[in-house]
Structure 1
Amino acid sequence: MKKNLLNTIRCPKDLRKIPQEKLPLLAQELREFIINIVATKEGHLGASLGVVELTLALHYVFNTPEDLLVWDVGHQAYGHKILTGRKEIFHTNRQLGGISGFPKRDESEFDTFGVGHSSTAISAALGMAIASRLKGETKRQHIAVVGDASIASGMAFEALNHAGVTDTNLLIILNDNAIGIDPSVGALKDYFTKVKTNGDSISDNIFEALNLNYSGPIDGHNLDLVISELERLKDLSGPKILHIITTKGKGLRQAEENQVVYHAPGKFNALTGDLTPKNEDSLPLKFQDVFGKTIVELATNNEKVIGITPAMPTGSSLKFMMDEFPDRAFDVGIAEQHAVTFAAGMATQDFKVFCNIYSTFLQRAYDQVIHDVCLQKIPVIFCLDRAGIVGEDGATHHGIFDLAYLNCIPNLIIFAPRNEVELRNIMYTAQLGLELPIFIRYPRGRGNILNWQRPFEKIEIGKAEVLREGFETVILCLGTTSVNALKAIKLLPPKKQNIVGCIDMRFLKPLDEEMLHKVFKKYKKIITVEDGTIKGGLGTSVATFAVTHNYTSKIEILGVPDIFPEHGSIDQLTELVGISAEKISEHL
């Protein structure tokens, strides 16, 4: 009976006892293990399959965790987690109470740095390397694995620029697979293509120009070759970079052939690789697709409409516009700061610029939002996808801070559509022309309306909408939280339902103060509900309004408390933070 090598590994020390000639068999077992778990439990797939050989080689050659290994774009690290003591609980990956889908410092000593967002590994590893030098730890190695197109981000280049003038035990592994979530873009991608094609005949090496000892490119799936190069580089002093070529999704035919879909494919058949069929025809569209289809409509009728996204054309559904109007839709790569200021520059020239960025990723361009957009009152139209609780991706990806971090900035509009029709109409309104930038935030997932593609209607800026009248208690909600708010009222006994009103504020900024005056004069109790942080959002604004105008009605603020919510389903997390229909009803 064939021995299962993977079952003998509890930590990398066990891995290093295995003869090198048996590692290809272990690589096959590790791939099969990842495929079998992700097929049923879901999660990220292609990125980890692409670095199986690299993962084994790194833990085989280096003395982890004494040597410090930092992963960039943490969804590459499933194999790393399995080899570092988490194989038996890997089936809990991304589930409530289970392990995180990304490296996490308080989960394992092998997870040296939390890496949910991209392009941070070189900076973090360089900081560790310089700290080791200051402590006199001359033998300790520091390795940053940079993959899935994150090398093209500005932060990665800032770190490379610094690393090149340091005397450190820093090794950067460039995992070049020509794709992030979508195919890589830009001049650097073209440069890597030439390197792969021409090898050493490229006379101008960008990394050597930055004083980095460059080697490669080599086949990242050739275990013996990768191990040999890592052994050689381990003994070289100073910062160095190893360029390896890998295939995202390696080992599963469908994942290799359809790398975008199999980045995070949902459930699939582990034996055949085929996706589990989904009956989506009868379901409402995802909010991202409402955005994607609507911007195509607007662009068809308005040649000034522009679309921009940083590396998320499929995730944001800007891909629809890129297919129809390739000259007016731009994927700028993993570069949120550039995306924001690029959008601002184009908007100064009278174009109607839609800049679509996930809420959590806009955080990376906060200075640009303030300095390059709002300070100058440039009317960029920001569409913030994945706002609120996002589910299994967890703490690094929840879009719960945007209401608070935008609310304090002058010269902007914040709007949260409660359904697909509202999203469609605010996009239409924005491209007609606004005096200020607008931030339109909407959640991950589907809406509730099948016939959403109705004739456009202009939305009046700063106006709330009464969803139901009451006379004693009122819920003030924002965007899609109105769904749970209305459900909460229906959970009450019929007589009590009659006393509770519900108002969709729609705009956090400007607040509908005329509506708020009516509310505080009519209702004894006001409950605010939002899918962002309690501090700084709708509740804070309503409480401030009440203090300013000497109102004394009781105010209760429901939202995300002062924590980083972990991973779990959206329904589970909504319940935990207290904004599910059941939790809201307890306050009525």
Structure 2
Amino acid sequence: MSSLLARISRPEDLRALPSDQLPAVAAEIRSFLVQKVIASGGHLGSNLGVVELTIALHRVFDSPADTILFDTGHQAYVHKLFTGRQAAFDRLRSLGGLSGYPDPDESEHDVIGHSHASTALSYADGMAKARQLVEGDGNAIVAIIGDGGLTGGMAWEALNNLGAAKDRPVIVVLNDNGRSYAPTHGAVPAHLAALRAKRSSVSLFEALGFQYLGPVPGHEIDAIESSLRKAREMACPVVVHCVTRKGAGFQPAEQDQEDHLHTVVPAGGEATLTNVFSDELCALGEVRADLVCVTAAMPGPTGLTAFGERFPGRMFDVGVAEQHAIASSAGLALGGLRPVVAIYATFLNRAFDQLLLDVAMHRRPVTIVLDRAGITGPDGPGHHGMWDLAILSAFPELTVGAPRDPQRLRELLREAIELPGPAVLRFPVSGASEDLEAVERIGSVDVLWSTGQDVLLIAIGSTAGACLEAAEQLSAEGFGVTVADPRWVLPVSPGLLQLVHGKTLVVTVEDGVVSGGAGAGIAQACAPGTRVRNLGLPRAFIQHGSREELLAAAGLTGAGIVRAVRAEAGTWGAAWSPESRYVVPPPGDGSLPKAGVIGISQVADMTWS
């Protein structure tokens, strides 16, 4: 490790350095980040852009006595370097290692742990109100927002409150690099561009009641420090407008026009389901002039960039505004178009009301495509897309599909845009695996394996591969196994219930939360007396780690499914075929359990820290 950075283990060490050494510190930080993040994967461009800004923040403010809140916490890596976590970067975003976002369990300097945008200003508003009510000590509250976060409506709800409270000083630091993943669009980014170019002498923030300082050159430490000190002395709501460059100081990031290396991943380069979706969407766009697309500030990550390039004017980036994206799509459908909204599964949580009451209730033909469904891996609990099936199972007039492979993604997308009402498709962040062909189709249900009537494994989407692995092992042990993929998982199809009939045990497998998920809906739809075991993710906030590690911990592998079936077989005792080989012996006298649906269960040996 370079000499200056090695001497900084707490903010006091940074403040003790003379100003003329700070450019060298900034250079060392950039070298450190490039080396560590390229090796492990993570957010690179957004952190390279805030090096000088973070140095200034920790020299002017005394964390944790002064509260520093990072909106969209992927820009907090430099903050972590200054707060005792340099050595932990060797295990950045790995299981049991350093989180890629602020985490209060890691450090007292991380006040909030969150990875969704446009929230920090609301935290700041609440903390300022609390501090006023309990006669606070005068310490500062600083919220850093940017990288597209100011395009979110929630940020403006907070600004509406903050600007009116002259006696509650909050410092809003706007990290303005003109981008989210891609360049930001809309009236607010246009206004910020006018302020940057000094074409406007009055800021919108002043109209909302803030004092405004800027634009400040965001890579000049002295200038940032001076503005921050002035903001603190004002003792009122202040916006400090810092102009930065995403990826600053690293040529490959500065030259990457798509997202300035917003995120880097370790070498691999395999095609993904996102690529498959992108290609199929473009093909559909060629034959359907009424097909339009909507993204919430993430055209590249969700696969919409190619569609927007091929069909200018038919792709709309609405900013970090999932609620607006869904409600606007209802308007597009009302106007006679077929909108496809592509967002991460975790961000669908933000638009529950709009999907329920603006789309589903009115049966608007909107197709929602959820990328990163299930376990996403190293981004951690705020990014796992594991609640979508449980949420969507409560929606009437909504059809939900889960493709198991690239060909099914193409099929279901084509079917979705032909439906008379709304549809949702979900798929994980994973490579585009080989297609898993069916041996038979019953209604809309694909049968992937069939050797008997003992066990029916119902594979929800990407769990099909693990179910087939389990079927092979269980068949070798004497179980008669059928594996079915419903394709359209909600509502439960008659074809699936036809397959359930006559099976001794039904096991549903999904990479969503098991409580209230698709498996629970299937269990409820089965006839009384049907023995159902639901496998899925626990009702817990699952920490970061690789997708493979976390799925294995949840028992959602071939071996995990086999263990679950063996355990259920063990409880049947003498009622089970004598040829079956038990691993778990029958309890007590081996009598059969009472008829009825087995309750939602979790893998017994699962532990979460």
TM-score, with structure 2 as normaliser: 0.89
Query: 2 CA distance for matches of 1:518 and 1:505?
Result: 10
Q: Give the partner amino acid of 1:328.
A: R
Query: 2 CA distance for matches of 1:102 and 1:398?
Result: 13
1:203 aligned residue = 201
Q: Secondary structure at the match of 2:264?
A: coil
Counterpart of 1:354 (choices 332, 336, 340) is 340
1:543 Cα deviation (Å)? 2.1
Residue 416, structure 1, aligned to residue 391, structure 2: no
1:288 Cα deviation (Å)? 1.0
1:270 aligned residue = none
Query: 1 CA distance for matches of 2:523 and 2:23?
Result: 62
1:493 Cα deviation (Å)? 6.3
CA RMSD between the two structures? 1.9
Q: Give the partner amino acid of 1:466.
A: V
Counterpart of 2:449 (choices 462, 468, 478) is 468
Residue 485, structure 1, aligned to residue 471, structure 2: no
Counterpart of 1:567 (choices 521, 526, 544) is 544
Query: 1 CA distance for matches of 2:305 and 2:95?
Result: 32
CA deviation map 1:174-209 (0-9, x unaligned): 0000111112111221221111112xx513420000
Query: 1 CA distance for matches of 2:448 and 2:434?
Result: 16
8 Å contact kept, 2:406–2:435: no
Consecutive unaligned residues in structure 2, runs of 5 or more: 566-609
Q: How does 1:459-538 map to 2 (within 5 A)?
A: 463-469=444-450, 470-492=452-474, 494-496=476-478, 499-519=480-500, 521-538=501-518
1:64 Cα deviation (Å)? 0.6
8 Å contact kept, 1:54–1:221: yes
Alpha carbons of structure 1 residues 503 and 451: separation in structure 2 relative to 1, 3 Å:
closer
1:179 aligned residue = 179
1:404 aligned residue = 390
Query: 1 CA distance for matches of 2:496 and 2:196?
Result: 62
1:9 aligned residue = 8
CA deviation map 1:25-58 (0-9, x unaligned): 2111122111111121121101111101111111
Q: Give aligned-pair identity as a percent.
A: 37
1:139 Cα deviation (Å)? 1.1
Query: 2 CA distance for matches of 1:30 and 1:130?
Result: 36
Query: 1 CA distance for matches of 2:385 and 2:153?
Result: 22
Query: 2 CA distance for matches of 1:221 and 1:189?
Result: 20
2:155 aligned residue = 156
1:121 aligned residue = 120
The structure 1 segments of at least 4 consecutive aligned residues displaced by more than 4 Å after TM superposition are none
Query: 2 CA distance for matches of 1:236 and 1:138?
Result: 16
Query: 1 CA distance for matches of 2:9 and 2:87?
Result: 9
Query: 2 CA distance for matches of 1:172 and 1:304?
Result: 42
1:87 Cα deviation (Å)? 1.0
1:514 Cα deviation (Å)? 4.3
1:141 aligned residue = 140
1:273 aligned residue = none
1:190 aligned residue = 190
1:416 Cα deviation (Å)? 0.5
Q: Give the partner amino acid of 2:56.
A: A
Q: Give the partner amino acid of 2:156.
A: F
Q: How does 1:353-432 map to 2 (within 5 A)?
A: 353-432=339-418
CA deviation map 1:483-525 (0-9, x unaligned): 11101222346253x5111111222222123432441x32111
Query: 2 CA distance for matches of 1:224 and 1:379?
Result: 54
2:590 aligned residue = none
1:138 Cα deviation (Å)? 4.3
Q: Secondary structure at the match of 1:13?
A: helix
Q: How does 1:293-372 map to 2 (within 5 A)?
A: 293-372=279-358
1:255 Cα deviation (Å)? 0.8
Query: 1 CA distance for matches of 2:495 and 2:413?
Result: 24
8 Å contact kept, 1:129–1:141: no
Query: 1 CA distance for matches of 2:423 and 2:73?
Result: 31
Q: Secondary structure at the match of 1:14?
A: helix
Q: Secondary structure at the match of 1:394?
A: coil
Q: How does 1:62-81 map to 2 (within 5 A)?
A: 62-81=61-80
2:601 aligned residue = none
8 Å contact kept, 1:407–1:508: no
Query: 2 CA distance for matches of 1:421 and 1:134?
Result: 59
1:135 Cα deviation (Å)? 1.2
1:554 aligned residue = 531
Query: 2 CA distance for matches of 1:30 and 1:23?
Result: 10
Q: Give the partner amino acid of 1:171.
A: I
Query: 1 CA distance for matches of 2:86 and 2:434?
Result: 42
Q: Give the partner amino acid of 1:586.
A: R
Query: 2 CA distance for matches of 1:406 and 1:555?
Result: 21
Q: Give the partner amino acid of 1:334.
A: V
CA deviation map 1:420-467 (0-9, x unaligned): 1111112212223x2220001111122223899xxxxxx99x732221
1:553 Cα deviation (Å)? 3.5
Query: 1 CA distance for matches of 2:30 and 2:486?
Result: 49
8 Å contact kept, 1:129–1:170: yes
Query: 2 CA distance for matches of 1:3 and 1:510?
Result: 58
Query: 2 CA distance for matches of 1:224 and 1:107?
Result: 30
1:271 aligned residue = none
Alpha carbons of structure 1 residues 514 and 266: separation in structure 2 relative to 1, 3 Å:
closer
1:584 aligned residue = 561
8 Å contact kept, 1:526–1:554: yes
1:244 aligned residue = 242
Consecutive unaligned residues in structure 1, runs of 5 or more: 268-275, 453-458
Q: Secondary structure at the match of 1:6?
A: helix
2:255 aligned residue = 257
8 Å contact kept, 1:173–1:241: yes
Q: Secondary structure at the match of 2:12?
A: helix
1:42 aligned residue = 41
8 Å contact kept, 1:471–1:500: yes
Q: Secondary structure at the match of 1:314?
A: coil
1:545 aligned residue = 525
Query: 2 CA distance for matches of 1:190 and 1:492?
Result: 61
Alpha carbons of structure 1 residues 429 and 514: separation in structure 2 relative to 1, 3 Å:
closer
1:310 Cα deviation (Å)? 0.8
8 Å contact kept, 1:407–1:509: yes
8 Å contact kept, 1:182–1:312: yes
Range that drifts further, 34-43 or 78-87:
34-43
1:3 Cα deviation (Å)? 7.4
Q: Give the partner amino acid of 2:277.
A: F
1:542 Cα deviation (Å)? 2.2
- Count of matched residue pairs: 559
Alpha carbons of structure 1 residues 307 and 40: separation in structure 2 relative to 1, 3 Å:
same
CA deviation map 1:296-318 (0-9, x unaligned): 11111111111111111111111
Q: Give the partner amino acid of 2:236.
A: G
CA deviation map 1:101-122 (0-9, x unaligned): 0001222110011120111111
Q: Secondary structure at the match of 1:316?
A: coil
